[in-house]
A and B are shown apart, each in its own frame.
Chain A
Amino acid sequence: MTSPVPLQSITKPIECIAADTFAVPAASSPPQDFQTRLAMLRALFPALALTLCLCLPSGKAAAQDQRDLQSILQTEAEEVASPGRRSVGSVIDALVASELPQAPEFLQRWSEREVLQRTTDGLFFYGTREGDSYALTDLSTGEPAGSAPASEIEEIRPNGGVRRVIASALVQFQLSDPIEARRIEALDSIARNPSADQLEPLLASIEDEPSPRIRARKEELAGMLAATFGDTPEERIAAISALSDGVSVQIRAVLNQILSTRSEVGTEIPEGTNIARELTPGDDLTRDDAYARLVSEDLAPEIQSRDQLKAALTANIDGGTVGGVPIGALDTEEARARAYETLAAAGTIPRLVTEEDVDAALASHVFFEAYDEDDPAITDAARAALNEVETRVAVHQVADLALDAVSLASIYFLAAIGLAITFGVMGVINMAHGEFIMMGAYTGYVVQQIIPDYTVSLIVALPLAFAVTFAAGVAMERLVIRWLYHRPLETLLATFGISIALQQLAKNIFGTQARPLTSPSWLEGAWVVNDVIGIANIRIAIFVLALIFLALILFILKRTRVGLEVRAVTQNPGMAASMGINPERINMLTFGLGSGIAGIAGVAIGLYAQVTSEMGANYIVQSFMTVVVGGVGNVWGTLAGASLIGVLQKGIEWMNPSNTLAAQTYMILFIILFIQVRPKGIVALKGRAAGD
C-alpha cells in the first residue's frame, strides 16, 4: 500500500536540509576539547612566539621578554594564590602588559583551577593529582617538572566572580589569537552570550585584525554590542541605525531584544512608561484572555467554570435541594445559575461573576505592552531599523524561496520527464513510473553496499541505475504494454498492477525500513549567501543534473535520427509507420529512455530523501500533475509544468508553513482549477494534430 501522505514526505527532507542550512552560522568550528586545544597551542608555540615578536614594537617586547611568567606571578604571588574579584585586576593587568605568549593559556588554566602552588617555595605550576602526589608541569615551557606530595601542594581555586573577570580578560587574548578558528570561536561565544564588558576588548581588537572576513564580523558584533550596551543613548541610537544594513539572525535578535516588551495591566498607564502599544479587549486580545489576565494579576475575581459551579453546588446540597432548587431540577444551566445565586445571596459562596462584572472590570483597566527599554528614542530607532531589516529579509526570503522552488522544480522535472516522454509518444500513462524511480534508488543503495567510496559508487550508480531501469522499462513494454496499445485505460491499470507487485517485491527484498543513500562529502554542506539565502549543495547538484538531462533530451529529440523518428511517431504514428519508421522499435526505445531517466531521478532523490519501497508512489502524483499541467508531448511543457508546480508548492508552503497537508490540498485544487482554464496544459499542441 502506498503511504497516504506522499506529498508531505516529499517536502520533509527538503525542509530538513533547509533547516540545517540555517542552523550553521558562518563557518563555525566544531567545539573542541580543551586538551586538544592545548596540544594545538603547544604545537604552534614556536610560530606563535615568532608572530608576536614580529607584530609587537620590538624594543618594548625585547625588554618584556626578559621576564618570564613565573617571575611576574611571583611579584603578585598572594593575589594569584587567593584571587579576589576586585583585586585580581592587578595580576591580569600585569599579565596583559607582559604580552607573554603563555599568558592566555595561564589565564585559561588558572580559571579552570588547574594551577597549583608549591607551598615549599611558593612557585606556581600546572598539575594534576595522581594518587597522593601531583604531577607538575612548568608554566613557561610546558615540560614536566617532577612531582610533589599532596601535602606540599595548594590547589588554587578562584571563585565564580574571579573567573568571570578572568574570562573577560581572556576574551581580549582570544580576539587577537593568531589562530583564526579561535578568533571566530571567541566571536561566536560573545554572540551567544553578549555582555557589556566585551564591547571594549572587541573594539580594541578590530584594528589589528588581519582577516577582512573576521574583521567584518567583529565590526558587526561590536555594532550589536554597542546597540545594546552603549554608554549613552546617542551612541546606542547610532549603533542601532548602523545595524539596519544587515539581514543576519543575530542583528534581528539584537533589535528584537531591544524591542522586547512586557504585557501589563493596571488602572492607568504609569508615568514614564515606554509604551509599545495599548491593547483593546475584543480587538487586540480576546475578552476571555483580557479577563484571565486581570484574574492572574489579582485585579478581578475568577469566573466560575461550569465544573467549579457544579462543585460548589454539590458541596452545598442540603437535604435534596440546593439553594432551594430540587436536585432533580438542576439539569439546565439556568436552574443551576438560580440555585447558585440563592446560595451566593445567603453568603455561603462567593458571588457569581456576571458578564456585566467582566465588562466593568475590563472597562476600568488598561491593557498595554511596555518596552523593557525605557528610552523611547532608542526603541523608535530600533523599530525603524528592524522594519528596514525585515523588509530586506523579506526580499532575501523571496530570493531564497526562488532557489528552493527551482530545486524542487528540478526534482519534479527529473521525476516527470520520463513519464512525459512515454505519455507523449505512446499515449501511455505508466503507473509503475514511480517504482522505476524506486528501482533506481535501490540500485544506488546496493552499489554503495559493494563500493564503499561514495564518490566512486555514485559514478557507478548513475549509469547502472539507468541501465537497470532501461532494461526493466523495455521488458515491461515488450511483455505488457505493446499488447495494450489503444486501450489507454487498461494500460493504466495494468501498469498499476506492475506497480503494486514491484513495490511489494522491494519490500520483501529490502525490508520496510528506510535505507540510506549517502552522498559523497563534497555534496554535503550548503552554499550560503547570508543568514536568509542558502541552498544545500546536493540540490544544486540535482539542478545541474536536471539541466544536463534537459539538454540531453533536447539534443536527442532535435538533433538525432532517433529523435526525429520519435517526434514523427508522437505527431502521427500512422504516417510515421508508412514512412518506414518502425513504431515498435521507437516505442521500445522511448519507453526504455523514459524509464532510464526515472532510474537516474531515483538516485538523485535517494541522495537527499530516504530510500523506501514507497518512495516512488510519493512522486507519482506530482509527476502526473507536472505532465498534465505542462501539456503532453513536449519537453518544454514538462519543464514549464515542473516549474509551475515547484513555485506553487513553495509559495503555498511559504504562506502556510505550519501545515504541509493543507498546502498540498490547495496545490491540487489549484491544478484542478488550472485545468479548467487550460485543459491541454501550458504548452498545448494545436490544431488537427491535437485531436479532440
Chain B
Amino acid sequence: MTRKTFLTENRSVFWFLLSLGVFALIITVLADGSGNGMISTSFVKTLGRTLCLMLVAIAMDVVWGYTGILSLGHMAFFGLGGYMIGMWLMYARTEIVLTASLNAAPIPPTPEEIHDAIGSQIFGLVGSSEFPAIWYFAPSLPAQLALVVLVPGVLALVFGWLAFRSRVTGVYLSILTQAMTLALSLYLFQNDSGLRGNNGLSGLQNIPGLGDVPQSHLSIAFFWASAVALGAGYVLFAWVVSGKMGSVIRGVRDNESRVRFLGYHVESYKLFIFTLTGIVSGIAGALYYPQAGIINPNEIAPIASIYLAVWVAIGGRGRLYGAAIGAAVVSLLSSWFTGGSAPDVNLGIYTIQWTDWWLVLLGLSFVAVTLLAPKGIGGLFDLIGNRHPVPATSSTAAGPDLGARRTVEGEEEK
C-alpha cells in the first residue's frame, strides 16, 4: 500500500529511474570498453563523475530547496568521502607495488618493513615517513568504507549541531557553514594534517588488486556504480521529502517558528537532514574520486560548495530532478568550455576564447537565471505537464510581531 502510494505520488521517481537506466545502457553499449569505441574511456569517466555530482546536487537540493538551509559546506563532505576511500586506494596500491619490489630482494620483506616503506613512499613528499594516527584503518577496505559514511556523517552532525543550536538562520547560517568549510580546507592544506597537505592523494584511478583490468572496463564499472548510487539516492531522497517528513521540512523552510509552535523540534529535523545529506555527499565523493584520480584540499574549499549551490539553482531547486539536471548541464558545459573544445568567437576586434570567458558567462547567466527564471531548468517541466509548482518561499515569521520586523518592507498585507 505504502509503496504504491509512494510511486503514484512521485511519478518523477519512475521517470528519473527509467531515463537513468536507459542512459546507462546506451553509454555501456557505445563505450570503448565494450568494443564499440564510440565513446572514449575518458568521456565515460567524465559521465560517471557527472552522475556523482548529480547525486551530491540532489542532496544539496534536499538541504537547500526543501529545508531552506543554504549550506556552503556539502562539497566538503563530498571531498571527505573521497579522502576516506583515497586513503585505502593509495595505501593498498603502494603496498602492492612496494611488496613486489621488496620481494625482488634476496630476503623476503617483513610486514613492518613494508608498512614503513609505504609510509616513506606516501609521506616522503611532505617530509615525513611516519603514518599519522588517522591512517590507522587505511590498510582495511571495510574500515575505510565505513569511514566514508562515518567521517562526513559525524562531521555533519557536529557542524550542524553547532550551527543550528545557536538558532542562526538564513544568510548568517550560510556564512557560518562557509567558515567551517574554510577552516576544514585550511587545515587540510597543512602538510602535517596527515593527508599530504596541498599535494592531496593521487593515483586513485588504479584500483588495487585490479591491475590487470583495463581502465576502459573499470570506467564502465564505476559508471554503473555511480548510476546505481544516484538511482538509490534519488529514491531515498524522494521518499524522505514525500510524506510527512517532507511536509515538516518544507514547513521548516517556509516558517520555522510556526513548525516549532506545532511542537516539532526544528533543530533535530535540520540536523537529521544535514547529516543524512552529508553522508550521501560523502558516498558520492567516494565514487567520484576514483574516477578523477586525484584529490586535494582545493576540492574542499568553500568555492566548490558555492558552485554546488549554483548548479542546484540553475537546475531548479525544490525538485530533485531539477538539481540533478542542473548539476549535469553546468558541469558538462563547464568542462566543454574550459577544456578548449568550444569554438572561439571572432568579433573582429576581439576573439572570445572560452577558456577565458566561460566563468564570465557562467556568472552572468547565473545572475540571469536567478532574476528571470527562479525555477531554473526544472521550470521547463512545468510547461509540459501541470506538475507541482515550486511555491515562492515566504519569509514571514509567525506571530503578530511582524509589524516590527524589518522583513516586511514592500510586502503586501495579506
- Which residues in A have some Cβ–Cβ distance to B below 8 Å? 1-2, 4-5, 7-8, 306, 310, 313-314, 317, 322, 327-328, 330-333, 336, 423, 427, 429, 480, 483-490, 492-494, 496-505, 507-508, 569-574, 576-577, 583, 621, 624-625, 628, 659, 661-662, 664-665, 668-669, 671-673, 675-676, 679, 688-689, 691-692
Encoded as 1 (CB less than 8 Å from any A CB) or 0, chain B from 110 to 143 comes to 1111001000000000000000000000000000
19 further interface pairs, Cβ-Cβ under 8 Å (given A573-B406, A583-B409, A688-B401): A4-B297, A487-B393, A488-B170, A496-B366, A497-B362, A497-B366, A498-B364, A500-B359, A501-B363, A573-B408, A577-B410, A621-B302, A628-B175, A668-B186, A671-B179, A672-B183, A679-B166, A691-B406, A692-B169
Given A327-B106, A691-B407: A484 and B178 interface contact (C-beta under 8 Å): no
Interface size class on chain B is 35 or more
**How distant is B356 from chain A, measured CB to nearest CB, in Å?**
5
Q: How far is the CA of A625 from the CA of B180 in the complex (A)?
A: 11
- Whether the pair A665, B397 counts as a contact (CB closer than 8 A) is no
CB-nearest residue of chain A to B312: A493
CB-nearest residue of chain B to A675: B166
Q: How far is the CA of A661 from the CA of B401 in the complex (A)?
A: 45
- Whether the pair A574, B409 counts as a contact (CB closer than 8 A) is yes
Contact of B162 among A322, A624, A664, A672 (CB under 8 A): A672
Most chain B CB atoms below 10 A, which of A489, A502, A505: A489
Q: How far is the CA of A349 from the CA of B260 in the complex (A)?
A: 79
A residues less than 8 Å from B297 (CB atoms): 4
Given A429-B175, A496-B306: A333 and B371 interface contact (C-beta under 8 Å): no
- Whether the pair B166, A676 counts as a contact (CB closer than 8 A) is yes
B70 interface residue (CB < 8 Å to A)? yes
**How distant is B304 from chain A, measured CB to nearest CB, in Å?**
9
Q: Tally of A-B residue pairs with Cβ under 8 A?
A: 208
Given A496-B310, A501-B360: A665 and B186 interface contact (C-beta under 8 Å): yes
**How distant is B408 from chain A, measured CB to nearest CB, in Å?**
5
B residues less than 8 Å from A333 (CB atoms): 110, 112
- Whether the pair A692, B257 counts as a contact (CB closer than 8 A) is yes
B176 interface residue (CB < 8 Å to A)? yes
Contact of A624 among B175, B374, B393, B411 (CB under 8 A): B175
Contact of B405 among A1, A665, A691 (CB under 8 A): A691
Given A573-B406, A574-B408: A310 and B366 interface contact (C-beta under 8 Å): no
Interface of B is mostly: helix
- Whether the pair A484, B371 counts as a contact (CB closer than 8 A) is yes
**How distant is B405 from chain A, measured CB to nearest CB, in Å?**
5
Q: How far is the CA of A583 from the CA of B409 in the complex (A)?
A: 9
- Whether the pair A675, B370 counts as a contact (CB closer than 8 A) is no
Give the residues from 357 to 375 in chain B that come closer than 8 angstroms, CB to CB, to chain A. Answer: 357-360, 362-367, 370-371, 374
- Whether the pair A331, B109 counts as a contact (CB closer than 8 A) is yes
- Whether the pair A672, B107 counts as a contact (CB closer than 8 A) is no
Q: How far is the CA of A602 from the CA of B110 in the complex (A)?
A: 60
**How distant is A252 from chain B, measured CB to nearest CB, in Å?**
30
Q: How far is the CA of A494 from the CA of B186 in the complex (A)?
A: 26
Encoded as 1 (CB less than 8 Å from any A CB) or 0, chain B from 308 to 333 comes to 01100100000000000000000000
Q: How far is the CA of A689 from the CA of B395 in the complex (A)?
A: 16
Across the A-B interface, the 9 shortest Cβ-Cβ residue pairs: A501-B363, A573-B409, A497-B366, A504-B359, A668-B183, A331-B108, A500-B363, A688-B404, A497-B367
- Whether the pair B363, A662 counts as a contact (CB closer than 8 A) is no
Given A4-B185, A5-B186, A662-B187: A489 and B174 interface contact (C-beta under 8 Å): yes
A residues less than 8 Å from B303 (CB atoms): 1-2
A residues less than 8 Å from B371 (CB atoms): 480, 483-484, 494
B residues less than 8 Å from A505 (CB atoms): 360
B190 interface residue (CB < 8 Å to A)? yes
A residues less than 8 Å from B387 (CB atoms): none
- Whether the pair B363, A306 counts as a contact (CB closer than 8 A) is no
10 contacts between A and B (CB under 8 A): A2-B303, A423-B171, A489-B170, A493-B370, A571-B406, A574-B403, A668-B186, A669-B183, A675-B168, A679-B166
CB-nearest residue of chain A to B408: A574
B301 interface residue (CB < 8 Å to A)? yes
**How distant is B121 from chain A, measured CB to nearest CB, in Å?**
15
B347 interface residue (CB < 8 Å to A)? no
B residues less than 8 Å from A483 (CB atoms): 371
CB-nearest residue of chain B to A671: B179
